Chains A and B, each alone.
Chain A
Amino acid sequence: MLSRFVRFSAVNTALCYGAASILVLAMFAGPLWYAWTSTIAEGRTETLVDDADRLTNLFAAQGAGQTATAIGTQVGGQPLGIGRIVVLADPALNVLAGNLPHWPHVTIVDGGMQVVTLHINDRSFRVALLSRRLPGGYRLLVGNNVDHIERLGTLALYGLIGCAGTFLIIAVIGGMVVRYAMLARVHVINQTTAAIVEGDLSRRLPPLAHQDELEMLTQTVNGMLDQIEQLVHGVRHASNAIAHDLRTPLAELRYRLEELALLRPDPEHTYTEIDGAIADVDQVLAIFNALLRLAEIDSGARRAGFTAMDVARVAVEVVEFYQPLVELHDVTLTLATSGRLATHGDPLLLAQAISNLIENAVKYAPRGSTIAVSASARGGQQIALEVADQGPGIADAEKPKVTARFYRSDASRGTPGVGLGLSLVASVAKLHHGTLELGDNTPTGLRVTLLLAGTAEGRQSVLA
């Protein structure tokens, strides 16, 4: 239970702060304590030694009697055990003068300082004593009551301990408070996430009161959920479209084969139908392959094959590739480039993208019209690949839909193709960290712009 409690980072942090505080306190208080006590002790020792020396000299000069008198004067009226203590005793330890009723019952060591507890008249006192042996076996005791010092010391110690204890308690309570507060917010996140996992993709994490790290996380997670919701809807839509677009040729195939099985026509007719069946299967395979390609592109794996390349050069090659076809349709294909356009990408994918755009344009371009391809530099090192036709164009309402998988506008039903061309162009754009824009050409037609990030190789003038 305790270990589980301590595992929470909030509690750990709080305890660490508490321990650090106590450490700092010790580092402050320790030397101070030491300095204080040793200064006091030194001071006291000095005084007592002075006093002992004075009395020792007096004894040596004028004998026990005078010394006793002097002691009596010094400490005569003093209450027992308070302040200075001076005792002169004979060799038999009978007190001759001084403010103790009898020689202390504790062991007195000659020469050095000792702090002992004296019990006098049912009271006890803490005293620091200095003992001397005088000529003739007489004993001299000089000391100071240290009760008040020690009490002060004890108070200080209790104070420090209390301080440390307070730090610890604050740390523990603080840790618990933060933990519970954080747990409460995490609990909210958990609840929402659980609902999302259950399938309710529309749920979002509620925004939190204050702008801190958890709020940043909330916003990021919500953004991710938006993206996921979009992808899932995309997949659902694609599955429906796939189901329809694959079923059609497969159904064709089935009817064809079943008709053959039922009617058993002559070999000539049969082989014609078989050729048709192969064409149906090829249609299905083409859809599969196109979908696989799209999936491969969308997965981002193709980025591993990126290389330094010239977009303008790819445009030139693709336009050249389509020239004969376009001529056949009595359409003009023009290309405008402005020098080398360096980027980091996949030349084959970009070629395929431009190819798809040109093929789409050819499909809808009326005889005698122009398809204008251009590869140019835009501000901020951007490269713009544009294909503009003079066909019927796409209505504004439809523009956002056309890049969806299998989307085919009503105008295009009946023409060859499976509706994956623009999807591929959009996917290639995205793979290259670019965007696809659909606009209108003047006076009519569609203008498709592929915007890519160029690299800093620069704009050298002559095309290779």
Chain B
Amino acid sequence: MKLLLVEDNERVATFVSKGLVEAGHTVDRADNGRDGMYLAASGPYDAIVMDRMLPGGIDGLGIIEALRKTGNRTPILIVSALSDVDERIRGLKSGGDDYLVKPFAFGELLARLDALLRRAQDAHGETMLVAGDMTIDLLSHKVTRGGKVLNLQPREFKLLTYLMRHANQVVTRTMLLENVWDYHFDPQTNVIDVHVSKLRQKIDLPGAPQLLRTVRNAGYMLSTDN
């Protein structure tokens, strides 16, 4: 995918850029607001990673607002050292699609970026999700695997649906916490892991290929390749 990275800190920019290239994307860089605005507007990019505090007359939020005003709907992931809830809300309100606090783990950035890219591509209004031999009927809330109906609790269903929507992508614990439970804090314990583990027991029955994988140091993935 073609990505734009607007970040004024050289070390962060290099780190992120290298990682993204390694993951198979092409990356354009800007280190100030003016250049960032110019590149973002001329585009087109599949997604933008935007730092908030930028030199050059215009800051990250300003660029995003300007882009949205012109009808530009490119997915934008905001990165910022400003971690207050209010700042997060400000970022999302001005048109950003996701908000990541610095310093972040690269895996987190990559997972969220992939989620944004996937979201942009997905058709909306689908009623069925399919991954391998597992199907979810979103209307009847029925989950079947290999023809057999699986019995899931409401929260397990929500968790599985999220993983299915991001099939073959890494989903971090934070993403799960925010999207499945709507919580924005870090539990001290590994409670998310336990939820995923319980879900896995229900869907990855012995004998069937394992769909729900743990990705070391990153999170989880519903994977259809064996």
Interface residues of A (CB under 8 A from B): 275, 285-286, 289, 292-293, 296, 301-302, 305, 317, 320-322, 324-325, 328, 348, 351-352, 355-356, 359, 362, 416-417, 421
Contacts and interface: CB of A to CB of B under 8 A. Distances in A.
Nearest to A301: B86
B83 A325 contact: no
A351 B83 contact: no
B196 to A, nearest CB: 9
Contacts of A356: 188
A421 B187 CA distance: 10
B83 A324 contact: no
B195 A324 contact: yes
A289 B186 CA distance: 10
Given A351-B183, A355-B185, 12 more contacts: A286-B186, A292-B83, A301-B86, A320-B155, A321-B155, A321-B191, A321-B195, A322-B191, A325-B190, A325-B194, A328-B194, A359-B187
A275 B105 CA distance: 12
Contacts of B181: 317, 321
29 contacts: A275-B217, A286-B186, A289-B83, A289-B186, A292-B83, A292-B84, A293-B185, A296-B84, A296-B85, A302-B85, A317-B181, A320-B155, A321-B183, A322-B191, A324-B191, A324-B197, A324-B198, A325-B194, A348-B184, A351-B183, A355-B185, A355-B187, A356-B188, A359-B187, A359-B189, A362-B189, A416-B188, A417-B188, A421-B188
Nearest to A317: B181
A159 B84 CA distance: 76
Contact of B189 (A286, A325, A351): A325
Contacts of A416: 188
Interface string B182-224: 0111111111001101100000000000000000010000000
Nearest to A356: B188
Interface in B150-195: 155, 181, 183-191, 194-195
Contacts of A275: 217
Contacts of A285: 103
Contact of A359 (B84, B188, B198): B188
A302 B85 CA distance: 9
Secondary structure of the A contact surface, majority rule: helix
Interface residues of B, number: 21
A320 B154 CA distance: 11
A268 to B, nearest CB: 16
A244 B142 CA distance: 53
Interface string B81-93: 0011110000000
Most buried by B among A320, A324, A355, A359: A324
A454 B185 CA distance: 25
Interface in B98-143: 103
Secondary structure of the B contact surface, majority rule: loop
Given A289-B83, A301-B86, A324-B195, A348 B189 contact: no
Contacts of A289: 83, 186
Contacts of A317: 181
Nearest to A347: B182
Contacts of A324: 191, 194-195, 197-198
Nearest to A360: B188
Contacts of B183: 321, 348, 351-352, 355
A301 B188 CA distance: 25
A289 B102 CA distance: 11
Contact of B185 (A302, A305, A348): A348
Contacts of B188: 356, 359, 416-417, 421
Contacts of A286: 186
A55 B39 CA distance: 122
Nearest to B89: A305
A364 B185 CA distance: 22
A328 B86 CA distance: 36
A402 to B, nearest CB: 16
Contacts of B186: 286, 289
A92 B191 CA distance: 134
B82 to A, nearest CB: 10
The 5 closest A-B pairs by CB, nearest first: A324-B194, A325-B191, A325-B194, A352-B185, A324-B198
B174 to A, nearest CB: 12
Contacts of B184: 348
Contacts of B86: 301, 305
Contacts of A296: 84-85
A296 B189 CA distance: 23
A325 to B, nearest CB: 5
Contacts of B194: 324-325, 328
A12 B13 CA distance: 68
B204 to A, nearest CB: 16
Nearest to B181: A321
A328 B184 CA distance: 24
A408 B38 CA distance: 53
Contacts of A355: 183, 185, 187
A416 B185 CA distance: 17
A293 B186 CA distance: 11
B81 to A, nearest CB: 11
A302 B88 CA distance: 13
A389 B6 CA distance: 50
Contacts of A362: 189
A285 B105 CA distance: 12
B124 to A, nearest CB: 27
Nearest to A278: B105
A356 B183 CA distance: 13
